[in-house]
Amino acid sequence: MQNKQWILSSFPKGEIQDGDLVLKEQKLAELKNNEILIRNIYLSLDPANRGWMSGQASYVDAMQIGDVMRGGTIGVVETSNNEKFKIGEIVNCMGGWQEYFITDGKGVQIIPQNTGFPLDSFMSVLGMTGMTAYFGLLDITNPKEGETLVVSAAAGAVGSIVCQIGKIKGCRVIGIAGSDEKCEWLTKELKIDGAINHKIDNVREKLKELCPEGIDIYFENVGGPITEAVVTRMNIGGRISLCGLISSYNAETVVPGPAWGNLLIKRIKLQGFIVFDYFKRAMEAFQDIGKWIHEGKLQYKNEIIPGIENASSSIKKLFSGENKGKLIIQISDDPTL
Amino acid sequence: MQNKQWILSSFPKGEIQDGDLVLKEQKLAELKNNEILIRNIYLSLDPANRGWMSGQASYVDAMQIGDVMRGGTIGVVETSNNEKFKIGEIVNCMGGWQEYFITDGKGVQIIPQNTGFPLDSFMSVLGMTGMTAYFGLLDITNPKEGETLVVSAAAGAVGSIVCQIGKIKGCRVIGIAGSDEKCEWLTKELKIDGAINHKIDNVREKLKELCPEGIDIYFENVGGPITEAVVTRMNIGGRISLCGLISSYNAETVVPGPAWGNLLIKRIKLQGFIVFDYFKRAMEAFQDIGKWIHEGKLQYKNEIIPGIENASSSIKKLFSGENKGKLIIQISDDPTL
């Protein structure tokens, strides 16, 4: 049996180039005792992937040249030598950019079936994306009714959920996104209070206009001049949830952050977080998010691109902002459809 | 009756220059109903003073040209038309850079007498300086036994108290200061675990050597390249207490902060604070600090310079690092001595 795999063949400098990842076909190894064979169905493409390819350890080990590209997956168990997993079970794990994944089951979670939610939702709103939004906003910034929340990359997978949870909690929510189309989606569909197109608008001026009482909470996904503009308008006692810095992930030199003077004077709390730290509390997030979806208070958008061969070209959309919602590669047929 | 006053006559550009503050003599106003006349004894010189002179509002209103220079004072009530204050009582307030202060008593605290502590200690270790160190370290970073704490401006008024509270709480404490003499005082007298002279040592290399298990807590007083070096070595779950940024106070352009990438990956909590927010909890600090002084666990150093005429030239010492401990101007005789 053959296995198509995307192999890291050079550490990208700046943007990911064709050739940094190379699609190869390899013979599948024999299944050992205790191992399972998973057929990958969905592959998650995330800004964090870029950091994993940098050659530098961060909150996970550095990837090495020759490794299968790391990535979150949903798959189905096709063969099992491990009593914890049955054939046909749907699982969630770091299965990588490949058609098949062989593992001893460590870190593999079984996804419940017949929940009424489509399988790809477990890769976004009911997966790490939803957890990131939920804990990053609620746990770190403790939003209160009437407070003003600003979200950058607001039309993105995480950002759009943060915006909606902000509304559910009674905040005034202003989103920053990269096109008029996204801004319209945010205000018309997600019903947030205002949106700023950072490619056209003067972000500082717009923030002044849309946040007349200042900014209490900033959910940070981008870094750079947008961050600078937001931090300048924050109120005393403000909180910043530091989730991502996508504007710097392709940078070849270190991009400095905003001066700390404002953080000091305004007594701001800034807290970085990684969703992995919240895995034990996942059910808290999924119960609330599931309920909010049922109640029609929370919507999400997945952009599913078929074909493992499109993974490397598709991930670039995250950095150009072309993706429309959570970016997912469909590697093989979804048996639940 | 005449009153010598330092008047703000221009907003300093960069370092404070002769002429930005001008010493004038003015006739004292008549005491109105409800007012008290305070003779200032001690005047506190602090890095924060520079910010107050910038012409820009921060956590306090901006000073205006022509205002008496703002400053914390300890004084004695000489005349009282206010039943809350008796003649001869010693008080703590923002009495300004002047010989006499007339006030309706708002914001004026009475200092208890016969405590066994000299009066000038209420301007440092038992005053705002001590509170800043106490709440900035304990409330914001919650230090645990065995953790590594790095303190910048470690030989300064606040820093030196932070170092010692860190030791009391069982931390490994490394101080960063600006001379070998200061470093020696920190390690030999205050018995902290290591000190770095940032004017001579390679701070990055020294931090690596002195913090082999990384840095859990950073007490920030300075900003700039030192901050950069510390943040790079912080551990997962690290905390930064953002107390001051003295390296930037004289800067004419905004000095950027460190990139946020490390704060994200390491899940660091950064929290700015202003000691004014802790006034209600002052007794917590003073009880502990008083006890530690009695037990010989905490020492402090005040540099008392006689003569109000020396205030403007002396404050420059804070920025050059020439001061030895908490910098205080003695304006008039201390009646408790």
The domain spanning residue A226 has which CATH number? 3.40.50.720
**% of residues, chain A, pLDDT over 90:** 90
Report helix angle A203-210 to A225-232, nearest 10: 30
Kindly report, residue by residue over A173-189, the tens digit of the pLDDT.
999 999 999 999 999 99
What would the pLDDT profile of A51-79 be if each residue is shown by its tens digit?
A: 999 998 888 899 999 999 999 999 999 99
Question: Which range among A74-83, B53-62, B110-119 has the greatest average pLDDT?
Answer: A74-83
Tokens 């703590």 sit on residue: B92
Quick one: what percent of chain B has pLDDT higher than 90? 90
**Pair A136, A224 in one domain:** yes
CA-to-CA distance for B291 and B288, rounded, in angstroms?
5
What residues contact B167, with CB distance under 8 A and at least 6 apart?
A: B173, B190, B191, B192, B297
The span from the CA of A10 to the CA of B336, in Å, is: 74
Range B15-19 average pLDDT: 92
Segment B49-62 mean pLDDT: 89
Mean pLDDT in residue range A275-293: 94
Q: Which two structure tokens, joined as six digits, stand for A55?
A: 């050659």
Domain co-membership, B138 together with B16: no
The residue among B40, B60, B31 whose CA lies nearest residue B108 is: B40
User: Is-contact A175 A198, C-beta < 8 A?
Assistant: no
pLDDT score at A324: 80
Do A199 and A229 sit in the same domain of this protein?
A: yes
Q: Is A267 left (phi over 0), alpha (psi -120 to 50) or beta?
A: left
Beta-carbon contacts of B63 under 8 Å, excluding residues fewer than 6 positions away, are B8, B52, B53, B55, B69, B70
State the average pLDDT over residues B25-39: 97
pLDDT, tens only, A86-144: 999 999 999 999 999 999 999 999 999 889 999 999 999 999 999 999 999 999 999 99
Task: Evaluate if residue B95 carries a pLDDT over 90.
Answer: yes
Rounded-to-integer distance, Cα A34 and Cα A82, Å: 4
Asked, for residue A337, whether it belongs to a domain, the answer is no
Establish if A57 touches chain B: CB-CB under 8 angstroms.
no
Whether residue B253 lies within 8 A of chain A, CB to CB, comes out as no
Tell whether A14 lies on the interface with B, counting CB pairs under 8 A: no
CA max distance for chain A: 63
Question: Do B326 and B268 sit in the same domain of this protein?
Answer: no
In a domain, B282, yes or no: no
pTM of the model: 0.91
Is the minimum CB–CB distance between B227 and chain A shorter than 8 Å? yes
Neighbours of A244 (CB within 10 A): 26
CA distance A295 to A298: 8
Q: Which long-range contacts (CB under 8 A, 24 or more apart) does B183-188 make?
A: B183/B155, B185/B155, B186/B154, B186/B155, B186/B160
Instruction: Please name the residue that has the structure tokens 């602090």.
Output: B46
The pLDDT assigned to A57 comes to: 85
**How high is the pLDDT of residue B237?**
97
Asked whether residue A117 falls in the same domain as residue A133, the answer is: no
Q: Is B335 domain-assigned? A: no
Whether A39 and A140 map to the same domain: the answer is no
Residue B196 shares a structural domain with residue B177: yes
Are the C-beta atoms of residues A47 and A316 closer than 8 Å to each other?
no
Q: Is residue B216 part of a domain?
A: yes
| DSSP H or E segment with residue B288 | helix B282-294
Interfacial A residues in 264-303 facing B (CB < 8 Å): 264-274, 277
Write the residue in B220, B267, B274 that is nearest to A267 by C-beta. Answer: B274
Report the amino acid identity of residue B239: R
Give the count of beta carbons closer than 10 Å to the beta carbon of residue A211. 21
Contact of A251 with A14, CB cutoff 8 Å:
yes
For chain B, the helix, strand and coil percentages under 3-state DSSP, each to the nearest 5: 30, 25, 45
* Amino acid A212: pLDDT: 97
Separation CA A127–CA B89 (nearest Å): 65
A72 neighbors A128 (Cβ within 8 angstroms):
yes
B140/chain A closest Cα distance in angstroms:
10
Q: Per residue in A29-39, pLDDT tens?
A: 999 999 999 99
Residue range B172-192, pLDDT digits in tens: 999 999 999 999 999 999 999
What pLDDT, on the 0 to 100 scale, is given for residue A236? 96
Residue B217 corresponds to which tokens in the numbers above?
A: 């807590």
Which residues span the domain enclosing B117?
A: 2-124+300-330
The pLDDT assigned to B253 comes to 82
Specify the CATH number for the domain of residue B78: 3.90.180.10
In sequence order, which residues have a C-beta less than 8 Å from that of residue B263 and are 6 or more positions away? A242, A270, A272, B231, B270
What average pLDDT does chain A have?
A: 95
> In chain A, which residues have their Cβ closer than 8 Å to the Cβ of B236?
59
Residue A335 counted as domain residue: no
Q: In this model, does residue A148 exceed pLDDT 90? A: yes
Pair B168, B191: CB distance under 8 Å: no
Residue A282 lies in a domain: no
B47 reaches A (C-beta below 8 A): no
Number of domains in chain B: 2
Q: Are residues B266 and B133 in the same domain?
A: yes
CB proximity B254 to A under 8 Å: yes
* Averaged pLDDT, B272-287: 94
Give CA A58 to chain center in angstroms: 17
- pLDDT reading at A266 higher than 90: yes
Question: Looking at the structure, do residues A72 and A206 belong to the same domain, yes or no?
Answer: no
The single-letter code of the amino acid at B185 is W
- Could you tell me if A172 and A147 are in contact, meaning their C-beta atoms sit under 8 angstroms apart? yes
**Which tokens in the block code for residue B106?**
């708002």
- Distance from chain centroid for Cα A270: 20
Q: Tell me the pairing of strands A148-152 and A215-220.
A: parallel
* CA separation for the pair B67, A78 (Å, rounded): 80
How many distinct helices (H) and strands (E) make up chain A? Answer: 12, 15
Listed in order, strand segments (DSSP E) in B20-106 are 21-27, 36-44, 73-80, 90-93, 100-103
Q: Report yes or no: A243 at the B interface, CB cutoff 8 Å.
A: yes
Q: Using alpha carbons only, what angle is made at residue B260 by residues B256 and B263, rounded to the nearest 5 degrees?
A: 130
The one-letter amino acid code at B291 reads K
Mean pLDDT of B258-284: 94
Same domain, B88 and B132: no
**A232-248 mean pLDDT:** 95
Distance of residue A169 Cα from the nearest chain B Cα, in angstroms: 23
Determine whether the interchain pair A257/B254 forms a contact, defined as Cβ–Cβ distance below 8 Å.
Answer: no
Q: Is residue A336 part of a domain?
A: no
Q: Which residues of chain B have a CB within 8 Å of the CB of A248?
A: 259, 261
Q: Is residue B337 part of a domain?
A: no
Cα distance between residue B284 and residue B281, in whole Å:
6
Give the angle subtended at the CA of B218 by the CAs of B216 and B224, to the nearest 5°: 135
> What angle in degrees, to the nearest 10, is found between the helix axes of B203-210 and B225-232?
30
Nearest C-alpha of chain B: how many angstroms from A255? 6
Continuous segment of H or E residues that includes residue A248 = helix A246-249
pLDDT at position B254: 82
pLDDT tens, residue by residue, B252-269: 888 889 999 999 999 999
> Residue B133 has what pLDDT?
98
Which chain A residues touch B257 with a CB distance below 8 Å? 256-260
What is the rounded CA–CA span in Å between residue B283 and residue A62? Answer: 49
Q: Is B223 on the interface with A (CB under 8 A)?
A: yes
Per CB-CB distance under 8 Å, the chain A contacts of B132 are: none
Nearest CB neighbour to B263, from listed A236, A242, A277: A242
In chain A, what percentage of residues exceed pLDDT 70?
100
> Is pLDDT of A244 > 90?
yes
User: In this structure, are A272 and A132 located in the same domain?
Assistant: yes
Token pair, residue A246, equals: 């996508």
Torsion of Cα atoms, A116 then A121 then A122 then A127, to 10°: -130
Mean pLDDT of B118-122: 96
Look at residue B196 in the predicted model and tell me its pLDDT. Answer: 98
A32 touching B (Cβ < 8 Å): no
Averaged pLDDT score across all residues of chain B: 95
B203 exposed, middle or buried (CB, 10 Å; 0-12, 13-18, 19+)? buried
The neighbour count for residue A34, using CB atoms within 10 Å, is: 13
State residue B275's pLDDT score: 93
CA-CA distance, A322 to B250, in Å (whole number)?
44
Residue from A190, A184, A197, A191 nearest A152 by CA: A197
**Same domain flag for B140 and B264:** yes
Of all helices (H) and strands (E), which one includes residue A249? Answer: helix A246-249
Q: Which residue in chain B is spatially nearest to A52 when comparing CA positions?
A: B265
Answer yes or no: do B245 and A264 touch at CB < 8 A: yes
Choose the mutation target among A260, A267, A274 for the interface with B, i.e. most B CBs under 10 Å.
A260
Radius of gyration (C-alpha) of chain B in whole angstroms:
20
Distance of CA A320 to the CA centre of its chain: 15
Residue B250: pLDDT over 90:
no
List pLDDT tens digits, range A199-217: 999 999 999 999 999 999 9
Per-residue pLDDT at B9:
97
